[in-house]
């Protein structure tokens, strides 16, 4: 198997060597180390039926750059492991989502006081 030409990796890419060991150029994509978030078990939400909660959900959050996503621009990828659902956000959209999540969490926490 011949090596393919290297790509320029992002500074945060965990490969960092151009992904020359991949079989196809579409497989040459950069990804930062995974950050895993364990979500609350489904039984915490008694009486709330949800097809999305199985009790063992984890979310992976990574920076990634793939040629076929966002025209090759880096994005924040959120992956729900148990459901194999991916969400790709621009850096700006990820910051906006983070701000809104923090604001909603603050509302809940302030109501508990």
Cβ-based burial of 10 (10 A; exposed 0-12, middle 13-18, buried ≥19): middle
Q: Is residue 3 over pLDDT 90?
A: no
DSSP of 18-43, one letter per residue?
A: --TTSSSGGG--EEPPPEEEEPPPGG
Looking at the domain assignment, is residue 14 inside a domain?
Answer: no
- Residue 2 token pair: 């011949």
Domain that holds residue 96: 25-112
Question: pLDDT (tens digit, 9 = 90+) per residue, 4-59?
Answer: 899 999 999 999 999 999 988 888 999 999 999 987 765 555 555 555 555 667 88
Looking at the domain assignment, is residue 67 inside a domain?
Answer: yes
Looking at the domain assignment, is residue 65 inside a domain?
Answer: yes
| Residue among 20, 26, 27 nearest 5 (CA) | 20
Q: What is the pLDDT of residue 32?
A: 97
Question: pLDDT (tens digit, 9 = 90+) per residue, 68-96?
Answer: 778 889 999 999 877 778 899 999 999 99
pTM for the structure as a whole: 0.78
Looking at the domain assignment, is residue 15 inside a domain?
Answer: no
Q: Look at the chain and report how many structural domains it folds into.
A: 1
Angle at 53 between CA 45 and CA 44, to 5 degrees: 20
């Amino acid at each position: 198997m011949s090596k393919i030409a290297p790509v320029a990796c992002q500074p945060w890419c965990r490969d960092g060597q151009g992904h020359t060991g991949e079989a196809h150029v579409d497989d040459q994509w950069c990804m930062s180390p995974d950050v895993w978030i364990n979500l609350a078990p489904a039984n915490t939400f008694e009486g709330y039926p949800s097809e999305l909660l199985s009790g063992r959900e984890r979310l992976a959050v990574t920076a990634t750059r793939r040629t076929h996503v966002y025209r090759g621009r880096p994005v924040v990828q959120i992956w729900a492991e148990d459901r194999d659902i991916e969400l790709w956000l621009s850096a700006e959209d990820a910051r906006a989502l983070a701000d809104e999540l923090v604001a909603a969490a603050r509302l809940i926490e302030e109501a508990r006081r």
